[in-house]
Amino acid sequence: MNPGESDGNRKMSDLSRKDQPSPTEPTRLHTDAPGVGTRPRVGIMGGTFDPIHNGHLVAASEVAWVYDLDEVIFVPTGRPVFKLDKAVTNAEDRYLMTVIATASNPKFTVSRVDIDRPGITYTVDTLRDIQRLRPDSDLFFITGADAVAEIMRWKDADTMWDLAHFVAVTRPGYSPSLPALNLPDQKVDMLEIPALAISSTDIRRRSAKGMPVWYLVPDGVVQYINKHGLYSRGGESDTD
């Protein structure tokens, strides 16, 4: 990985342009560029996924394209550390919705490492577990920019930088200033994903009101939500 110079709000010296993109169009990494390695490149899409939605899927697809990833492993969190006092849908439901949502994409897989590890979920443990599963790969941890804005408070933050490159995907109109976060140089990139106008919070709110969520989440996830009564009153959660 050779992230480097600034390109808009992103930092990647290993990007080379083949054609002229529009101002909002991301520039693709070319793995045949000098200095870019040949090891497998694996994305780790971390999130609570309560529920997974089409914005997450578009973000993973876009990051996979920009960084020329061979695989994106979706990793639903077990017990999210900053949500210990909030109701979160039980892990098996979130895992199964993630499997349903990703099933048709040959590059997407789902891992249980976070939901099977006892205790609170910390990303440093996620990265170590995936490193054990994909020992010779370069890892790219992908998650929401709002979560990344807190990253210096994460457990063993100093260690994480050696384990993966970080990609913070942002909603349109939301872009935290990375320099203000005092992050280590060239370890975190930001990428705006217009489809992230969709949010899990909004889907839960719509479901609770009986509003449709078709086309905000994959069809199978709509059916899973309805079949199991998630997000309506009485839906199961880990803190109920």
Shortest separation between residue 190's beta carbon and ligand NAP, angstroms: 12
Q: What is the DSSP string of 122-180?
A: -HHHHHHHHHHHSTTSEEEEEEEHHHHTTGGGSTTHHHHHHH-EEEEEE-TT----TGG
Q: Which residues bind ligand NAP (CB under 6 A)?
A: 45-48, 56, 59, 77, 80-83, 121-123, 142-144, 146-147, 154-155, 169, 196, 199-201
Shortest separation between residue 129's beta carbon and ligand NAP, angstroms: 12
Around 85, how many Cα atoms within 13 Å sit in the side-chain half-sphere? 0
Shortest separation between residue 234's beta carbon and ligand NAP, angstroms: 22
Would you give the distance in Å from CA 71 to the centre of its chain? Answer: 13
Q: Which is nearer to ligand NAP, 12 or 141 (CB)?
A: 141
Around 62, how many Cα atoms within 13 Å sit in the side-chain half-sphere? 23
Q: Which is nearer to ligand NAP, 11 or 53 (CB)?
A: 53
Contacts of 123 (CB under 8 A, 6+ apart): 46, 141, 154, 155, 160
Strands in 41-47's sheet, in edge-to-edge order, are: 108-110, 71-76, 41-47, 138-144, 165-170, 188-192
Q: Which is nearer to ligand NAP, 12 or 164 (CB)?
A: 164
Shortest separation between residue 115's beta carbon and ligand NAP, angstroms: 11
Q: Which is nearer to ligand NAP, 2 or 149 (CB)?
A: 149
Shortest separation between residue 131's beta carbon and ligand NAP, angstroms: 15
Shortest separation between residue 17's beta carbon and ligand NAP, angstroms: 26
Q: Which is nearer to ligand NAP, 13 or 154 (CB)?
A: 154
Q: Which is nearer to ligand NAP, 20 or 214 (CB)?
A: 214
Q: What span, in angstroms and rounded, lies between the C-alpha atoms of 129 and 69?
A: 19
State the first-to-last Cα distance of the chain, in angstroms, to the nearest integer.
Answer: 43
- The token pair that represents 159 in the structure block: 């260690």
Point out the residue whose Cβ comes nearest to ligand NAP: 144
